[in-house]
Amino acid sequence: MVACLPAQGQGLPDRPIVLGNGHVTLGGDAAWSVAPEDTGFFNYTDYERSTLRMLRLTLQATVTAGDHIAVLTEIRSENGDRPDPYALYLRVRPWATRNLDVAVGRLPPTFGAFSRRTYPSDNPLIGYPLAYQYLTSLRADALPASVDELLRMRGRGWLASYSIGNPVAAPGVPLVSAFRWDTGVQLHAGNDLLDVTGAVTQGTLSNPEVTDDNGGRQVAARLALHPIPGLLAGASAARGAFVSDSALQNVLPGARSSDFTQTAWGADLEYSRGYYIVRFESVVSRWTLPFALEPLADAPVTAVGTTAEGRYKILPGLYAAARYDRLTFSELHGSAGWETWEAPVSRWEAGGGYSLQRNLVLKVSYQHNRRDGGRVRDLNLTAAQILFWF
């Protein structure tokens, strides 16, 4: 008679992996999204990839040295490319019993609400809000010589080119980048009612940097209030030098980068109760650009991004979600008269998700995009995503 033990398969991890007596914690996710080709480049990011056609692998690690010091990093690979450090920073907590910390390095975002929910497990849909993803025609390293040259790039932010600065055609910038983190110093403090965060970093919201390209700095702050369970209200602001030195010196030799900035304000609201959660966010961004051939035209160009979304849990493991986005832009006076400097865009996306197990989710969504300019003005896209996280 032979005694047999029950066979037991090795399952996927369903929680963070803890090593070294609790000093090392590993987490991560894998998300694979499939969709038809985005011929209008509505979903393209500043890494020239579509959020609806992406394989993203993420590994997060936290290494602690006692109660006060920790090193945190996040390594990402998109579409099989070489893994890159999305985040890498030192966090110091002077008092173990107080919610106060200082971080130095490539930092988590200070500005906005969605910037803190960019992980696939936090996003109820597959697409991203326009303010955090859609590429405008502006670039930090290349500048239009005139208003007309800027207007010719309306709706072509996926590949914009200008006569001043870097001559190579390249993607423009979003209002706020959700795919790159900035480098600098951040201070955070909070209690049961209020969270306050401030940071000084190298780049700007739309153009985060690892190394400085203009000698300027960005100052950003966020205030978040949670007065009752389920309710969160936030306000953000940021200002920093946007135009690179290499581009600026081709226009105004000796000019200060601090004169040509990106300034942004944000407001957000979230309320959850029972089976549903609703969110609203608005971002206003203003860039000041020099026009070499029209110095009197030097004036801010403004963009406003508004997002409203909701999610409702239908059954255990099954939910439905929807989001509406709108981007609008200020007007400039060109040779043909007044015109918005960028083509306004709107998007609605609806879909849902089903949990095959707690940390393995299948999502589907349908997206309608509309743009008042560019080569492709209307585009409908259906997407699916499989998401695993631990």
* Residue 63 maps to a domain: no
* Residue 61 maps to a domain: no
Burial of 359 per CB tally in 10 Å (0-12, 13-18, 19+) = middle
What pLDDT is stored for residue 116 in this prediction?
83
* Residue 303 maps to a domain: yes
pLDDT surpasses 50 at 374: yes
> Residue 178's domain is classified under what CATH number?
2.40.160.10
Q: Partners of 70 in the beta sheet?
A: 64, 91
- Digit-coded pLDDT (tens) for 132-189: 999 999 999 999 999 999 999 999 999 999 999 999 999 999 999 999 999 999 999 9
Contact 207/179 with Cβ under 8 angstroms? no
* Residue 334 maps to a domain: yes
Distances (CA, A) of 327 to 34, 44, 180, 379: 25, 15, 21, 16
* Residue 295: band (very low, low, confident or very high) from pLDDT cuts 50, 70, 90: low
Dihedral angle sign, alpha carbons of residues 41, 43, 49, 50:
negative
* Residue 49 maps to a domain: no
What pLDDT is stored for residue 3 in this prediction?
42
Residue whose pair of structure tokens reads 């930090």 in the numeric block: 140
* Residue 287 maps to a domain: yes
Query: What CA–CA distance (Å, rounded) separates 240 from 227?
Result: 31
Query: What CA–CA distance (Å, rounded) separates 127 from 290?
Result: 34
- Digit-coded pLDDT (tens) for 330-344: 999 999 999 999 999
* Residue 10 maps to a domain: no
For residue 226, count other CB atoms closer than 10 A to its CB.
Answer: 17
Contact 319/124 with Cβ under 8 angstroms? yes
pTM (2 d.p.): 0.91
Dihedral angle sign, alpha carbons of residues 65, 66, 68, 73:
positive
Please tell me the total count of domains within the chain.
Answer: 1
DSSP string, 264-307: EEEEEEEEEETTEEEEEEEEEEEEE---TT-GGG--EEEEEEEE
Query: What CA–CA distance (Å, rounded) separates 175 from 44?
Result: 13
Query: What CA–CA distance (Å, rounded) separates 362 from 381?
Result: 17
**Structure tokens given for 19:** 């090593």
* Residue 324 maps to a domain: yes
Query: What CA–CA distance (Å, rounded) separates 176 from 281?
Result: 13
pLDDT surpasses 70 at 11: no
Q: Which residue blocks in the chain are alpha helix, DSSP H?
A: 130-133, 147-151, 245-248
- Digit-coded pLDDT (tens) for 39-81: 999 999 988 899 999 999 999 999 999 889 999 999 999 999 9
* Residue 286: band (very low, low, confident or very high) from pLDDT cuts 50, 70, 90: very high
Domain that holds residue 140: 87-389
